[in-house]
Structure 1
């Protein structure tokens, strides 16, 4: 068979999506593997390298409100993201999301089930096995989801 079906998400992504689902109520929707070009509009004045990256990049999880307006992007990090090449891709993605005014959180599980949710300015750690500090992680996700954005989601140059 020249083409075969594969799973949309791996086991780590599945676990993270299940966690995110516990953080939001039914008025929010979680979308996986969404292209940046599906929820942001590109301005022609953007740098050529960012423009190229824009059309080839996906986000791991996009949380939208009931009108499908983006509230938050969660990027699932693993040891794969430790390479210089991956860090550069992550930097470009963060730059584009900042230009679009869509908040970005990173998630990474390490140290035997500790979930780290972090941005440039804040970090929350919770234990996925014991549930300790889980409410802090859920509150962080909810904080971003409950914020109202007036942006028209047009990516513009700084």
Structure 2
């Protein structure tokens, strides 16, 4: 058996990472394909299905602060995520991230060049060709990864 190297990310993920890099300042870092169990710890009971998923699942992009504390997860969605099986995995991941208290966003390119960034409660659209909505997309990302001044008050 032989092995060969392959790219860590595809071209869509590469473009998303390039965009994310323009949204964060020098006090934050982006990490790709990080296992959930690398940045979350189990603290209490998880049913068997969620426990298995916890140890076998990665996130697409993790933004950390300069001390490597997780701040935001961004999941890159494609038409592959429309299947029932993929939606079930996404729901498990969302459940675990919510329990850990880590905010997360989804990104998806739709309708030829429209980047949608969305959370459970809001959505922005950024036109990759014209640039329309770019600042709204940046602001949404910054809103989620930047800690509130009221945290730990």
Distance 2:103 2:47 in 1: 21
Distance 2:46 2:7 in 1: 34
What is the TM-score of this pair, normalised by structure 1? 0.92
Counterpart in the other structure of 2:92: 92
State the Cα distance separating 1:145 from its structure 2 match. 1.5
Deviations 1:6-56 (A, max 9, x none): 000000100100010011111110000000000000134111110010000
Report the secondary structure of 2:56's partner residue: coil
State the Cα distance separating 1:146 from its structure 2 match. 1.1
Distance 2:16 2:32 in 1: 11
Number of corresponding residues: 150
Distance 1:44 1:133 in 2: 41
Distance 2:116 2:133 in 1: 11
Deviations 1:108-134 (A, max 9, x none): 001111000001100011101111110
Counterpart in the other structure of 2:71: 71
Distance 2:101 2:140 in 1: 17
Report the secondary structure of 1:55's partner residue: helix
Distance 2:108 2:129 in 1: 14
Q: Does 1:54 align with 2:37?
A: no
Q: Any runs of at least 4 consecutive aligned residues in structure 1 with deviations exceeding 6 A, and if so which? A: none
Distance 1:74 1:110 in 2: 17
- Structure number with the bigger relative contact order (C-alpha 8 A, sep ≥ 6) is 1
Q: Does 1:102 align with 2:83?
A: no
What is the TM-score of this pair, normalised by structure 2? 0.95
Q: Which runs of 5+ in 1 are unaligned?
A: 151-158
Counterpart in the other structure of 1:42: 42
Distance 1:133 1:75 in 2: 20
Distance 1:23 1:112 in 2: 22
Distance 1:13 1:133 in 2: 20
